[in-house]
Amino acid sequence: MLERSLKSAGRRWLACAFFGSFILIASGCSSYQYPHALRPEPQRLHLSEAPFFAQQEYQCGPAALAMLLAWNGHDVFLPQLEGQVYSPELQGSLQPSIVAAARRQGYLAYPLSGWSELVAELKGGQPVMILQNLGLSWYPRWHYAVVIGYDQGEKRVRLHSGVYPGMEMSMGVFERTWRRADYWGLVVVPPSVLPSSATEIAYLTAVVGLERARQFSAATTAYLTATKAWPDSFVAWIGAGNSSYQAGDTATAIRSFRQAAALRPDDGIPLNNLALVLAQAGRRTEALAVIDQAIAQGGDRQEVFRQTRQKIVADSAPIN
């Protein structure tokens, strides 16, 4: 019955084209075997309050992103998102454009891949945007949808898709169409929220994207969120220092660089940055003591550290 409903709605869904560059994996089996490793707990889950935005033709990307933003309390103006995400030339939306649009709003865009990560996010209360190929491996018809639940007993997945809120799809059909898109998924969360499936490297990589979008306050919050999960993460503390400095938060920058220096006492980089921030805060005596400590450590960055000292003495200390 589901397969028939898919066919009847197919023309509208399949119009949401996506012309990205993918390694497509064709379905090699006629029946779906639910792997033991993919059995989630609880047996069923449904984010019944997940908001729904019906897509216009070709515009499933902006609509799916709008649902994730609205779920997190963002006041969504869909035409604005369409302008940032949708490409009239391609008649579709590229994944990097979707990620970039989320970052422009100050949200962390965290990519995921695979069923276990998807379930972890649903259990953590986050709907997940996924990409499907509703056509064939050799004739793709790309479509974005938002997963809002599943029922393992009935082997169904629940999605907001196209013009259909809470649509049910068999796990077999879902797995095949998602697999053809290389299991691409995305959660969008405020920078104070750690995705349930987050790993340290993947999360910090996502935070770097906020910095590149010049969302420095959001990046600072995200880096500090990382330090709660991974308190010994040198990269997280350095990132918090750099982004907070860019955001004009000197106190957080000083605290973050001090923590990074404590984690790696033989690394002069956090001492160099700490000295620059202290100098700009008017604490030149303290700054000189810190940069002299970095110089005394030796290493291959001596010239950089000496230049920093000269800047501090000259009372001109922009951070590198």
Query: What is the percentage of the chain residues whose pLDDT exceeds 90?
Result: 70
Question: φ and ψ at 147, to 5 degrees?
Answer: -80, 130
Q: pLDDT grade, residue 41 (50/70/90)?
A: low
Residue 113 has pLDDT above 50, yes or no: yes
| Model confidence, pTM | 0.83
- 279 in Cβ contact with 317 (< 8 Å): yes
Q: Residue 132's Cα: distance from chain center in Å?
A: 19
DSSP class of 191: T
DSSP per residue over 137-148, as a string? TTB--EEEEEEE
Give the torsion sign (CA, 177, 178, 182, 188).
Answer: positive
| Residue bearing tokens 């059995």 | 39
The answer to whether 87 touches 97, Cβ cutoff 8 Å, is yes
Residue 171, amino acid: M
- Answer for the pair 62, 78: CB distance below 8 angstroms, yes or no: yes
CA atoms within 13 A of residue 18's CA, in its CB half-sphere: 30
**Residue 152, phi then psi, degrees to nearest 5:** -65, -40
Residues 72 and 107 sit within 8 Å (Cβ to Cβ): yes
DSSP 28: -
Class of the domain covering 2-189: alpha beta
* Integer angstrom CA distances of residue 123 from 40, 84, 117, 155, 262: 9, 30, 10, 17, 36
Confidence band for 21, pLDDT divided at 50, 70 and 90: very low
Q: Which fold has domain 214-313?
A: 1.25.40
Query: Which of 139, 184, 148 has the alpha carbon at shortest distance from 26?
Result: 139
Residue 18: is its pLDDT beyond 60? no
Q: Is the peptide bond before 190 cis (omega within 30 degrees of 0)?
A: no
Q: In this predicted model, what pLDDT tens digit does every residue of 163-180 receive, in sequence order? A: 999 999 999 999 999 999
Measured from the Cβ of residue 177, the count of other Cβ atoms closer than 10 Å reads: 22
Q: In this predicted model, what pLDDT tens digit does every residue of 66-96 receive, in sequence order?
A: 999 999 999 887 767 777 887 777 777 888 9
Domain ranges in the chain? 2-189, 214-313
pLDDT, one tens digit per residue, over 184-222 is 999 999 999 999 999 999 999 999 999 999 999 999 999
Distance CA 285, CA 19 (A): 58
